[in-house]
């Protein structure tokens, strides 16, 4: 008995375990040391539990330098702390320390849970603070990218939002791309729209307004923003109320076009494209993306599996249209597209066809650099005309030939407005469409008789 010393702790091991007990007041527990026969040295605290049994708790191993264990003084100090706890009335130290450890683990886990919640909250706040560029990317991926719905129809935009992205890259991102969407104000957006309007790009201004409103509506539904800053802005306040184009080429203008085309210095494919749009009433984008696999020269059909209104459409090819496609076959390449680009890597850009027409409806002084010198070769008496006006002209010619508007709508693959008709009447009236296209082809043959393609 007495006080445990370093000399005792460093004594040579014997054949059996040696226990050393340090004196202490009664009822305070005891500080112990043990030297095993293998030379292991360790400290313990012994006490009597509440049910009268003795229990011994390990304090730690002995190391006189305190490098890989406890110095004697450190072990004695810990035993003293445990003694105070014991004398305070806590008689079951093992259970007490287990509870303390469990509480510590629980506290650590609770802290981790809170850290995780704080992290998620921070991430959510960051998500809600998407920049305009990040918001556009998310909107485009979710709403603009084409997806097939469960009913087999396509959602999203046919171009995957490419046109919208180009407009945002040019007009929105330079000023607001890195600004948090939640901080963008109505005034910020109207300043951009006003600048577009000042350029005279009224339709572009309105399209941009529509896209911005849709994007912010998307963000509002997902609590990325608290409000849609453009909710109260109308097209009249942006680019102005739009008027539908009514330009239609008259029969005299079609005859004049036939005479002028050979002098317009256009590629043969582009010339044929003009006549095919007039003969089929197709959309220009549909023609520029046409593939030879969808054209059956024997069955005299051109099948359009993917159209603007998501409704497949098959066009009957009149003699006139068939002749134009036959002429195109002379330029056919080992690629799937009827109108490949110059590198034969994809269909030709729809805009390039429109630019060819526009470049040939200018006065010489308005000629664009590195563009055709035949600037006025396609000017017609009725004024400027576009590729889409050819589709409208085809419909007008059909009407003038006595073809009913319902058949014309089917020929042009117009979406039927009446819900009852759309759901319950599935007849596409193919035979009447064929007669309409043939009648139109005969008329175009007469009007273009001076041209030999």
Counted residue by residue, the chain has a size of 453
Terminal CA-to-CA distance of the chain, rounded, Å?
Answer: 123
Task: Report which DSSP code applies to 387.
Answer: H
Q: Are strands 41-48 and 154-155 parallel, antiparallel or unpaired?
A: unpaired
- Tell whether 372 and 328 lie within a shared domain: yes
Least confident span in 66-75, 349-358, 413-422: 413-422
- Tell whether 291 and 370 lie within a shared domain: yes
Residue 425: per-residue pLDDT = 46
Query: How far apart (Å, rounded) are the C-alpha atoms in residues 293 and 282?
Result: 17
Range of the domain at 273: 251-447
- Tell whether 330 and 402 lie within a shared domain: yes
Query: How far apart (Å, rounded) are the C-alpha atoms in residues 62 and 8?
Result: 12
Q: Is 428 left (phi over 0), alpha (psi -120 to 50) or beta?
A: alpha
- Tell whether 303 and 442 lie within a shared domain: yes
Supply the CATH number for residue 199's domain: 1.10.150
* Structure-token pair, residue 200: 């005279």
Contact between 276 and 325 under an 8 Å Cβ cutoff? The reply is yes
Tell me the C-alpha to C-alpha distance, in Å, between residue 412 and each of 14, 265, 302, 314. 107, 30, 13, 10
CB half-sphere exposure, 150, CA atoms < 13 A: 0
Per-residue model confidence as pLDDT tens digits over 261-315: 998 988 889 999 999 999 999 999 899 999 999 999 999 999 998 787 777 899 9
Neighbours of 444 (CB within 10 A): 23
Long-range contacts of 286-293 (CB under 8 A, 24+ apart): 287/338, 287/339, 288/339, 288/347, 288/348, 288/349, 288/350, 288/353, 289/337, 289/339, 289/347, 289/350, 290/337, 290/338, 290/339, 290/347, 291/336, 291/337, 291/338, 292/332, 292/336, 292/337, 292/338, 293/336
Q: Would residue 192 count as lying in a domain?
A: yes
Kindly state the average pLDDT of the residues 33-49: 96
Q: Would residue 375 count as lying in a domain?
A: yes
Per-residue model confidence as pLDDT tens digits over 159-192: 889 999 999 999 999 999 999 999 999 999 999 9
Query: How far apart (Å, rounded) are the C-alpha atoms in residues 15 and 166?
Result: 89
* Structure-token pair, residue 68: 């890989």
- Higher pLDDT, residue 171 or 420: 171
Q: Would residue 124 count as lying in a domain?
A: no
Q: Would residue 123 count as lying in a domain?
A: no
Kindly state the average pLDDT of the residues 304-327: 89
Query: How far apart (Å, rounded) are the C-alpha atoms in residues 274 and 320?
Result: 12
Supply the CATH number for residue 14's domain: 3.30.160.390
If one counts the domains in the chain, the total is 3
């Amino acid at each position: 008995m007495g006080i445990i010393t370093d000399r005792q702790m460093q004594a040579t091991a014997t054949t059996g375990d040696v226990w050393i007990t340090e004196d202490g007041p009664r009822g305070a527990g005891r500080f112990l040391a043990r030297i095993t026969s293998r030379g292991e040295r360790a400290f313990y605290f012994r006490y009597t539990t509440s049910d009268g049994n003795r229990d011994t708790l390990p304090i730690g191993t002995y190391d006189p330098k305190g490098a890989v264990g406890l110095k004697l003084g450190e072990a004695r100090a810990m035993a003293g702390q445990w003694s105070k706890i014991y004398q305070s009335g806590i008689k079951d130290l093992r259970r007490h320390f287990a509870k303390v450890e469990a509480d510590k683990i629980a506290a650590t886990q609770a802290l981790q849970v809170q850290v995780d919640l704080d992290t998620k909250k921070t991430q959510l706040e960051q998500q809600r603070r998407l920049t305009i560029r990040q918001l556009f990317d998310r909107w485009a991926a979710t709403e603009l990218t084409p997806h097939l719905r469960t009913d087999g129809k396509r959602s999203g935009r046919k171009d995957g939002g490419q046109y919208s992205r180009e407009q945002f890259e040019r007009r929105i991102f330079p000023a607001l791309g890195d600004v948090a969407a939640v901080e963008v104000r109505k005034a910020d957006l109207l300043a951009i729209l006003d600048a577009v309007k000042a350029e005279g790009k009224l339709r572009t201004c309105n399209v941009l307004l529509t896209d911005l409103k849709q994007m912010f509506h998307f963000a509002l539904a997902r609590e990325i923003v608290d409000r849609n800053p453009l909710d109260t802005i109308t097209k009249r306040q942006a680019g102005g109320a739009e008027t539908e184009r009514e330009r239609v080429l008259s029969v005299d203008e079609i005859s004049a076009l036939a005479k002028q085309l050979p002098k317009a210095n256009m590629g043969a494919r582009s010339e044929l494209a003009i006549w095919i749009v007039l003969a089929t009433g197709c959309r220009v984008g549909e023609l520029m993306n046409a593939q030879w696999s969808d054209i059956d020269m024997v069955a005299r059909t051109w099948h359009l599996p993917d159209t603007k209104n998501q409704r497949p459409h098959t066009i009957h090819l009149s003699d006139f249209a068939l002749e134009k496609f036959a002429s195109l076959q002379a330029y056919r390449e080992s690629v799937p597209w009827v109108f490949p680009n110059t590198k034969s890597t994809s269909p030709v850009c729809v805009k390039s066809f429109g630019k060819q027409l526009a470049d040939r409806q200018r006065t010489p002084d308005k000629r664009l650099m590195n563009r055709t010198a035949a600037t006025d070769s396609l000017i017609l008496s009725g004024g400027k005309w576009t590729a889409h006006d050819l589709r409208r002209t085809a419909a007008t010619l059909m009407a003038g030939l006595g073809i009913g508007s319902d058949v014309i709508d089917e020929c042009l693959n117009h979406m039927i407005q009446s819900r009852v008709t759309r759901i319950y009447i599935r007849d596409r009236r193919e035979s009447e469409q064929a007669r309409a296209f043939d009648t139109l082809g005969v008329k175009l043959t007469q009007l273009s008789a001076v041209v030999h393609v």
